[in-house]
Amino acid sequence: MSLQNYFFNKIFTACARLCLLCLLPSAASAQEPAALVNPFIGTSNYGATHPGPVLPAGLASVCPFNTAFKKGEGNVFEKDSEWHSRPYVHENSFLTGYSHVNLSGVGCPDLGSILLMPTTGELVLDPEQYGSTYADEQASPGYYAHTLDKYGVKVELSATLRSGISRYTFPAGQANVLLNLGLGLTNETGAMLRIVSDQEVEGFKMIGDFCYHPEDVRPVYFAARLSRPAADYGAWKKMPKYQEAEAAWTKYDDAFKPYPAYRQEIAGDNIGAYFSYNLPEGEVIEVKVGISYTSIENARLNLEAEQPGFDFEGTRRNAGQAWNEMLSRIELKGGTKEDKTIFYTALYHLLLHPNIFQDANGEYRAMESGEIKNTGGKNRYTVFSLWDTYRNVHPLLSLVYPELQLDMVRSMVDMYRESGWLPKWELLSMETGVMVGDPATPVIADTWLRGLTDFDVQTAYEAALKAATRLQDNKLRPGLLYYDSLGFIPENNAEKVWGTVSTTLEYNIADWNLAQLAQSLGKEEDHQRFLRRSISYRNYLDPKTGMLRPRLADGSWLYPFDPEAGKNFEPVVGYVEGNAWQYRFYVPHDIRGLIDLLGGDEFFFEQLKACFDTDNYDMANEPDITYPFLFNYIKGKEQFTSETVRRLIRQYYFNAPEGLPGNDDTGTLSAWLLFSMMGIYPTCPGDMYFAISSPVFDEVKIHLDSNYYPGKELIIEAVNAKGDEHLLIDKMEWNGKRHKPYFISHQELVNGGRLSVILK
């Protein structure tokens, strides 16, 4: 069943379910996983998450927008010139509205647009003047609320897949609802709105320029409807301040000029609409906003399909139930309440992106061209931060949510059909080109090898082969001619490849995955070709330093060379968002080969441990996040995996706004936590073996999807667990039989059964 149909079925049967829930004891409802989620985790420390309501894989979200201004000295709020990528930061408290399209856990600014804001009293249109601090925040999956200090307005928010709804409870007097299309995180400012009536407005806002790629620009369309007609309404536009020499122009002093209601349509960079009322104490106004990336008509269609009336409580209940349905795929026993909270919040964050892109009628914008196409009843996904997510997010989705993973792979293959290339960092059917490597190939190969084969693998293979063999004008793999002929990308290359060592290592992983896929498809010549090319990282191994060191075209080593340069995230030659230490062991497809090259188990162990001891390990970035599990490759040293993983969990993940190590990268850091707390981890995409470590919980039960896997459930239990006191693994059993390796295959796990990890 598609995710779209899944949620609509839930909506139609919500009333029956709610009646049943009323008959259950309160203790049962307390066990619902959605009740354990804390949406504020990750809203500080650059986690870039937000607490606003959104459905699993939802296209729309409603988020309190508080990053336009920041708190300065003396508790004074001032304009923030460094908004970064977050619509919401927990330590800020000056709010200028509630945005309806948002991203979670990304490193560049975009979206954060289509802002509503309730105010009282005389109409004020400047967000610097009408913004307000707030109090009494609360959030849960599908719901957010607080009270605006300046106005005494209680604000409540919820969402459906493609629309948001707000409920404002006003004090007596004049009440205003403002729609601001000027504010936002996108680097684009153009917009248009049309006032349809005294309770409806529609239009679009330009978005894009993600990570400052000016060619990536698209409109996001909306249709907004208020629950009652306004006594007064109209539009506004901020008029620019012109020079004296331009006397032909009318001069305004950066003013927000209102237009009366008869001015029904307006366009510009800083525009908005207002609806004003005279209300008694405690009166409520609800506003619902439909979102689309194809047209205003489809934005209205989405609104009618998902919110035909004004039913805030019903929308809120349906959102909470949708989250409980998805989060309940994994059940926990034991562990502390704090442990369960950070686990289920991580699972919540994992399910936000990629998210659906098509409208209720199946229409969506095609990759790159912008042509309007139709999914034919299937789901089309967007927001593929693949440099991050190929490492662990997609293996986790394959295990727990295979139906979602297959839809995502189908979307990726369709992107190739539409644009001629697989995605790298796709956003709203635009290729942003952010980061390096060819991360789509490992995702496709890994999905196929896990037994999820219901996609056009021949077209997928064709796409991956093109990326791996087009030696020039290669949109996915720049520098491939050097890589193919020299076995590495020299630092002084003509294409100015970013991070030559890092990029080569990424190509190695993609080639190894392509080799595995080729072998599975009976393409033995391709298998051997890409397998040989996948170990070309060895050309970077400097015997003097034991590091993977940048080289020049003549084969000489880059000089000078400091393996710790870039340790604190500053740019460094040869590496992408990391240093030589953080990329030293980044050949997960050939760890045994690397161990032999470095001189054997003991030296590898000493150097791997030194990566942590010298503070070169970076929990907040992707290249080295698998390193804690590499101790499992060294016989007799496996205990260091469990010890290191648990230490990192306790050091970097906790139930607080700053409870993520850094940018969640659309669920990647959350996926690391989920696997680590369960006690298994995929050390390399395309490798069907999980590394085993000590689980945090007494029991983790994964309900396997019988449409894709033979097993009914997978249980991972920790026997003799006593908090963090017993971390070392004494022995392991799989379905009651002794299991000696510190790895276990995906195929064994999805057959169902019990993995018992006995601790000491």
CATH code: domain of residue 273? 2.70.98.10
> Among 281, 301, 325, which residue terminates a domain?
325
- pLDDT band of residue 22 (cuts 50, 70, 90) is very low
Do 127 and 222 share a domain, yes or no?
yes
Domain presence at residue 192: yes
Residue 214 burial (10 A CB sphere; 0-12, 13-18, 19+): exposed
* C-alpha 101: how far from chain center: 14
Which pLDDT value is given to residue 260? 63
376-423 pLDDT, tens per residue? Answer: 999 999 999 999 999 999 999 999 999 999 999 999 999 999 999 999
Residue 292 burial (10 A CB sphere; 0-12, 13-18, 19+): buried
Q: Are 530 and 512 spatial neighbours (Cβ–Cβ below 8 Å)?
A: yes
Q: What is the pTM of this model?
A: 0.94
515-546 pLDDT, tens per residue? Answer: 999 999 999 999 999 999 999 999 999 999 99
Which pLDDT value is given to residue 51? 98
Domain presence at residue 561: no
* Alpha-carbon distances of 719 from 640, 696, 716, 726, 740, rounded to whole Å: 19, 11, 10, 10, 16
DSSP annotation of 601: H
User: Phi-psi region for residue 356, left (φ > 0), alpha (ψ -120 to 50) or beta?
Assistant: beta
Do 250 and 345 share a domain, yes or no?
no
Mean pLDDT of 731-743: 98
CB proximity list for 636: less than 8 A, separation 6 or greater: none
- pLDDT band of residue 365 (cuts 50, 70, 90) is very high
Which region among 78-82, 143-147, 504-508 has the lowest average model confidence (pLDDT)?
78-82
Do 336 and 265 share a domain, yes or no?
no
**In 3D, which of 77, 60, 56, 59 has the Cα closest to residue 68?**
77
Domain presence at residue 411: no
- Cite the beta strand spans of 13-133 per DSSP E: 63-64, 69-71, 77-79, 98-99, 115-120
Domain presence at residue 676: yes
Do 194 and 337 share a domain, yes or no?
no
Domain presence at residue 12: no
Domain presence at residue 545: no
Do 255 and 342 share a domain, yes or no?
no
Give the number of other CB atoms < 10 A from CB of residue 82.
7
Mean pLDDT of 660-687: 98
Do 234 and 341 share a domain, yes or no?
no
Domain presence at residue 490: no
Residue 486's SS3 state is helix
* Alpha-carbon distances of 333 from 647, 714, 726, rounded to whole Å: 21, 14, 17
Residue 17 has pLDDT above 80, yes or no: no
- pLDDT band of residue 188 (cuts 50, 70, 90) is confident
Do 162 and 221 share a domain, yes or no?
yes
Q: Are 34 and 116 spatial neighbours (Cβ–Cβ below 8 Å)?
A: no
> What is d(CA 638, CA 691) in angstroms, rounded to the nearest whole number?
10
Mean pLDDT of 639-661: 98
Mean pLDDT of 584-590: 98
Residue 214 has pLDDT above 90, yes or no: no
Q: How many domains does the chain have?
A: 2
Domain presence at residue 494: no
Residue 263 has pLDDT above 50, yes or no: yes
Q: Are 199 and 226 spatial neighbours (Cβ–Cβ below 8 Å)?
A: yes
CB proximity list for 1: less than 8 A, separation 6 or greater: 9, 403
**In 3D, which of 598, 672, 607, 595 has the Cα closest to residue 635?**
595
Do 116 and 141 share a domain, yes or no?
yes
* Cis-peptide, bond into residue 354, ω within 30° of zero: yes
Residue 19 has pLDDT above 90, yes or no: no
> Among 274, 306, 325, which residue terminates a domain?
325
> What is d(CA 654, CA 342) in angstroms, rounded to the nearest whole number?
6
314-341 pLDDT, tens per residue? Answer: 999 999 999 999 999 999 999 999 999 9
Do 342 and 236 share a domain, yes or no?
no
> Among 306, 325, 344, which residue terminates a domain?
325
Looking at per-residue pLDDT, the higher value among 476 and 17 belongs to: 476
Do 78 and 207 share a domain, yes or no?
yes
> What is d(CA 474, CA 438) in angstroms, rounded to the nearest whole number?
11
> What is d(CA 480, CA 474) in angstroms, rounded to the nearest whole number?
8
**In 3D, which of 595, 627, 623 has the Cα closest to residue 610?**
627
Domain extent at residue 613: 329-358+603-760
Do 741 and 756 share a domain, yes or no?
yes
Q: What CATH number does the domain containing 631 carry?
A: 3.30.2080.10
Mean pLDDT of 674-680: 98
* Alpha-carbon distances of 28 from 21, 49, 324, 328, rounded to whole Å: 9, 29, 13, 13
Q: Are 410 and 463 spatial neighbours (Cβ–Cβ below 8 Å)?
A: no
Looking at per-residue pLDDT, the higher value among 723 and 684 belongs to: 684
Do 661 and 682 share a domain, yes or no?
yes
As given in the structure block, the two tokens for residue 171 are 């004090």
